[in-house]
Amino acid sequence: MTGGKSGGKGSGAKSSAQSRSSKAGLAFPVGRVHRLLRKGNYAQRVGAGAPVYLAAVLEYLAAEILELAGNA
């Protein structure tokens, strides 16, 4: 295949790295939650969506607690 476009993932411009937290629009660290879920022997395997969901729940609970603490 000489002279033609080379296909595949590496043919375009290099995109900057984006964290899973920023992809999900969260402030809590999804990667750290995933690591702790794997390390803590909670299950044999941890899916890709589980740490995102857990980080979102933790962020929501923290925001609610901080809001209640601010009103006191």
Per-domain boundaries in the chain: 22-71
Residue 38's pLDDT band (cuts 50, 70, 90): very high
Residue 10's pLDDT band (cuts 50, 70, 90): low
- For 22-71, CATH number out of 1.10.20.10, 3.40.1190.10, 3.10.129.10, 3.30.2350.10 equals 1.10.20.10
Q: In terms of C-beta distances under 8 Å and separation of at least 24 residues, what long-range contacts does 19-27 make, across chains too?
A: 20/51, 20/52, 21/55, 24/52, 24/55, 24/56, 26/52, 26/55, 26/56, 26/59, 27/59
Q: How far apart are the first and last CA of the chain?
A: 70
Residue 14's pLDDT band (cuts 50, 70, 90): confident
Q: Is pLDDT of 7 > 80?
A: no
* Tens-digit pLDDT profile for residues 44-71: 999 999 999 999 999 999 999 999 999 8
